[in-house]
Amino acid sequence: MGNPVIGQILGSVLRGAAGGGGGGLGRGLPGGLDSVLGGMLGGGLPGMGSTGVPGARPGNRNAMLALMLPLVLAWMRRNGGVRNVMSRVNEHGYAPHASSWLGTERNDALPADAAHQLLGDDELSAWASQLGIGRDEAAQGFADVLPEVVDQLSPQGHLPDDADDRLDAGQSALDEMLRQRH
């Protein structure tokens, strides 16, 4: 099983977390979802980490970003899909950021403060609790993952008609893979 969009998103997020240009954990990630998550979370997923999330270890930013991906995808779906999320981002004053995610050049980072505005305090707190991290770390993780999701769903610099179908397929593949890991 694999979903190349999810693999690309994770690879891109992890390259950014590793300092940008392709070093660290993000380099050479295979496109298969299972391989990507398995590698980031320690291969065999030996059990529950102190965060309560399988395979997550305190201080493992890459694992946190990977585990945040299903939360971001589900949030996007609950908020009406990619186009509605983009409208919401624009309405909150981040139109230049959102435009860069659709372009074919570098993605402008979303400030962590945007997570507070876009998610709201209750959802941000719930995510932080679920992942066993602080709210600021959850906000930064959201700010790192959302641009990459949009970027990977718009490979030619615009949102294709099937962007929401690809989002749904990615969420389904990720949910299934995580169910099989438990």
Q: CA–CA separation, 24 vs 17, rounded Å?
A: 9
How do residues 3-48 score in pLDDT, each as one tens digit?
A: 566 666 666 655 555 444 333 323 332 233 333 344 334 443 333 2
Query: What mean pLDDT value characterizes the chain?
Result: 74
**Per-residue model confidence (pLDDT) at position 173:** 78
- Which residues touch 35 (CB under 8 Å, ≥6 apart)? 2, 7, 29
Q: CA–CA separation, 17 vs 160, rounded Å?
A: 27
In the chain, what are the domains? Answer: 4-181 (1.10.10.690)
- Its pTM stands at 0.71
Q: What are phi and psi of 78, to 5 degrees?
A: -65, -25
Q: Which residues pair with 54 in a beta bridge?
A: 48
Q: CA–CA separation, 159 vs 147, rounded Å?
A: 13
How do residues 120-135 score in pLDDT, each as one tens digit?
A: 999 999 999 999 999 9
How do residues 78-133 score in pLDDT, each as one tens digit?
A: 999 999 999 999 999 999 999 999 878 888 889 999 999 999 999 999 999 999 99
